[in-house]
Structure 1
Amino acid sequence: LGVCNFLPDHLERLHAETGEYPSVDQIELHPSWQQRDTVAYCKERGIAVEAYSPLARGADLEAGDGVIGRIARSHGVSPAQVILRWHIENGTIIIPKSVHRRPQEENLDLFSFRLG
């Protein structure tokens, strides 16, 4: 069973009424909206977290002069790669969407660097 946009209160109610937790909670999650309480709750209970809109619909990518841009330049990668790597290092399931070859290739090259 998977759920979408469930917060800890919703997950508690589901567990109280069914005795079960879902396998996965799909939530909007990216560096600009980290949902730390929900992520921690899920991790403590073995619920996988899947990020929809892992790139914040591109909003985080447009901030190239900010922290993400500086990190990308220091590693010689794109801002998108930094954000997707951030998800991987935080144990988040990501399914990045791209219809263009270059971003698809970048999406495959997320393991040649580490953030921390």
Structure 2
Amino acid sequence: MGSIRSKIKSRVEKFIEVDSTGYRRAILCIFIKVKKATIDELHEMLGKKYNVSRNMVASMVGYIHSKLGILRSRKESYKTPMVYTLREEYLDLLMKVVNTAPKPSSDAVT
């Protein structure tokens, strides 16, 4: 299991490393705080500080879910929106990476 954690840590570090705007760090910080959210909820939270479109948020969440592997997705029925949940086993790893990675010029939502 340690090798999976190290791979995920490396992916999260690279994800944050190329974050010139602060959006990526901010969305990860939101997931650390709220643990689960829909795209619309995340867009509303990010929109308070940044000028982001819903599609930008959906794209970032999709990338985090599929490539980083730190989120679970769940849909109650075909009428309800997808709910993304931070996997508890990666919470400590994510907090460490987000707090130690250098911040971009604009401060992230913390």
Question: Scaled by the length of structure 2, what TM-score is found?
Answer: 0.30
More helix by share: 2
Question: Scaled by the length of structure 1, what TM-score is found?
Answer: 0.29
Larger radius of gyration: 1
Instruction: Specify which structure has the bigger relative contact order, considering alpha-carbon pairs within 8 angstroms and separated by 6 or more residues.
Output: 2
